[in-house]
Chains A and B, each alone.
Chain A
Amino acid sequence: MSPVEPTALGGLDASNAPAWNPGRALGPKLVVAIVVLASFALVALVGRFLNLDPGAIDVAHIFQPPSMEHWLGTDDAGRDIFMQLIIGAWPSLVVGLSAAAVAVLIGGTVGILAGYSRGWLDLVLLRVMDYFIVVPALPFAMVITAVWGPGLGHMILVIAILLWSTTARVVRAQVKSGRERLYVIRARMLGASHLHVLLRHILPQALPLIGTTGSLAVALAILTQAALEFFGLAGTAVLSWGSMIRFAFQRDAMLNGAWWMVAPPGICICIVITACYWLAQCLETALNPRLRTTDLRVRSFRVLAVSRGER
């Protein structure tokens, strides 16, 4: 592998060097993302169904740093952080997943409806979508949860209400162009009902897109949830990664230098969300091969030295 020459235009003609191949680099990323998400799902199941216990309140051992006995130390009440982390996985992931599912369901339906209907309905729905895309999600979510009161169900709905518009926008564009395709028009001409055309011809076109925006929605949902929990808008009954960060903040973990109370839940959220982003990225590249071709990339021409022969 010849390095990119710094004296020349560097990366501007980087293709002279068969460097980091995105096609090759894509594979491991996808695998890593799936493995990470699967193992976190497993941990969440363990935490949900194994009846774990972070231990009783133990005032003699508060703010203990990580040790063999407590892998990630103890909190302000002497309870084990590692156990809390495992127990907290389930609510953190379930709320994110369900909120994203509801958001994708709403977004997909509205997007298909708007893209397929055209006319005034499309216009109205488009305005509504634009509004929800612009609106600052977190302040609105704070206000709505404050109005409705805490609870996991409420939180799922609030997050979904604020996240559906991106999916709707993307799906609408796809459906709008799909609707004009020749084979769709022919199907209509042959007497297929709107429902048939929608389910049989339009939906399959939109599904891959829904997958991509769906995994982005999961990431955003988990972040929003963590923020709402940080503000104490999720109720105090549920132990999750977001509320662990809140507790650490409220109960003077910072004054006691107890970084082990804060770092683990944040790192877990960070890993899960990165995996979601990578998944979305890989799906997008896989489904949209044009991203890999030259029309979006640097056009360059390789002059092969004869001696190098065939690559």
Chain B
Amino acid sequence: MSTRTSYLAGKVRVAAFGVFATLTLNFFLFRVLPGDAVSSMARVPDGSVELKEALMRQFGLDKSLWGQYLDYLAQLAQGNMGVSYASLRPVTGEVLAALGNTVPMTLLGIALAILVGTTTGVVAAWRHDTLVDSIISNVATVIYSAPTQWIAIMLILAMAQYLPVSGASDPFAFAADAWSVAIDRLKHMILPSLTLALATFGQYTLVTRSAVLATLGDDHVAAAKAIGFPVRRILTGYALPNALIPIVTLGALSAGTVVGGSVVVETVFSWPGIGRAMYDSIIQRDFPMLQGALLVVTVAVILINLAADIVNMKLDPRIVE
């Protein structure tokens, strides 16, 4: 087996372990809950013990813990994450629909954050130990220190007259052609994505700055300098590529933070995504939904990290040794 394959196999094994740990944790976390949904559902007028037992059987809560766990794994393997207590619809469909709303908004935010973060980071490294560097680094740190929900509310206070601040589309829109629907959606996306970008770009700035700074001292950069290439070419063509590995790795590690940020953003802006679904299901004690959302979110983050490992291997084949 080549070193590449064994490196990949190792990474896949770690990811698989992570997914399995998540499944298990996700199951047992919810079994120690006080206040089950059935007792509140059975608390209707004239609710009898029989009704409660029937509900328990319906949701499979009468089996032993171990039996429930095996049931859970078997059902999950078939893509069944149970039925939402609140909407009585399959969780899988609900979660995937929510995920479909989350992904474009988050991607836009992340793209903005990475664009701003790497640019400012490269500039700060280039101008290192100058006033420019000091301003960039400190502003990035201060903005990164602000709570996401606070940035969101401040943006609403400032921008509510100009941009929609709630939901993913205008419920009273008349035009139904694809173009105006897309424009409407994009308008609704601006503030949530901007919040997410503001809340996360600081870490990309700081990581890029130190990674690029470390490569600026390399021989090949000195050689490029000696040849007389323009600054832009040296930075983007020679210094940045070698600095990409820490940036990609930390970018993937920050996926967890970004997911957390999007939960907050979606709650503030009523964006019908997976974070909003988590918040709603906590309020409604809708555990299958919460469980499904947490599972999908965690597995997504684990997969992003696996992808980052593979990208890093492409960027620097030496990494496998």
Contact = CB atoms under 8 A, between A and B. Distances in A.
Interface of B is mostly: helix
B33 interface: yes
Contacts of B157: 254, 257, 259, 262
A270 B14 contact: no
Contact of A10 (B22, B127, B149, B253): B127
A12 interface: yes
A127 B14 contact: yes
A296 to B, nearest CB: 5
A13 B224 CA distance: 13
Contacts of A146: 282, 290
A144 interface: yes
A9 interface: yes
Contact of B253 (A21, A134, A230, A295): A134
Nearest to B216: A298
Interface in A111-165: 127, 130-131, 133-140, 142-144, 146-147, 149
B224 to A, nearest CB: 10
A274 B146 CA distance: 9
B129 A21 contact: yes
Contacts of B146: 266, 269-270
B255 to A, nearest CB: 7
Given A12-B234, A299-B217, A142 B282 contact: yes
A289 to B, nearest CB: 16
Contact of A127 (B17, B22, B257, B294): B17
A256 to B, nearest CB: 10
A4 interface: yes
Interface in A277-302: 277-278, 294-299
Interface in A7-65: 9-14, 19-22, 25
Contact of B153 (A254, A274, A277): A254
B282 A248 contact: no
Interface stretch (A75-83, A182-190, A219-227): A219-227
B129 A227 contact: no
A135 B149 contact: no
A147 B126 contact: no
A254 B160 contact: yes
A226 B147 contact: yes
Interface stretch (B79-87, B88-96, B258-266, B313-321): B258-266
A137 B254 CA distance: 10
A273 B147 CA distance: 10
A71 interface: no
A296 B213 contact: yes
B147 A223 contact: yes
B74 interface: no
A263 B142 contact: no
Contacts of A219: 145
Contacts of A227: 147-149, 260, 264
B48 interface: no
A266 B260 contact: no
B217 A11 contact: no
Contacts of A11: 125-128, 130, 133
Contacts of B301: 134-136
Contacts of A299: 217, 222
A14 B128 contact: yes
Contact of A4 (B130, B221, B267): B130
A19 B129 contact: yes
Contact of B131 (A9, A20, A135, A265): A20
Interface in B151-186: 151, 153-154, 156-157, 160
Contacts of A9: 225, 231, 234
B222 A138 contact: no
Interface in B90-134: 125-131, 133-134
Contacts of B221: 12
A20 B144 CA distance: 23
A248 B153 contact: yes
Contacts of A139: 259-260, 263, 275, 278, 293-294, 297-298
B290 A298 contact: no
Contact of A12 (B29, B133, B231): B231
A19 B130 contact: yes
B279 interface: yes
B217 A147 contact: no
A297 B239 CA distance: 13
B147 A25 contact: no
12 contacts: A9-B225, A136-B259, A136-B301, A139-B297, A142-B279, A230-B147, A248-B153, A249-B268, A254-B157, A262-B154, A297-B216, A297-B217
6 pairs of A and B residues whose beta carbons are closest in the complex: A138-B260, A266-B150, A273-B145, A136-B256, A11-B127, A136-B259
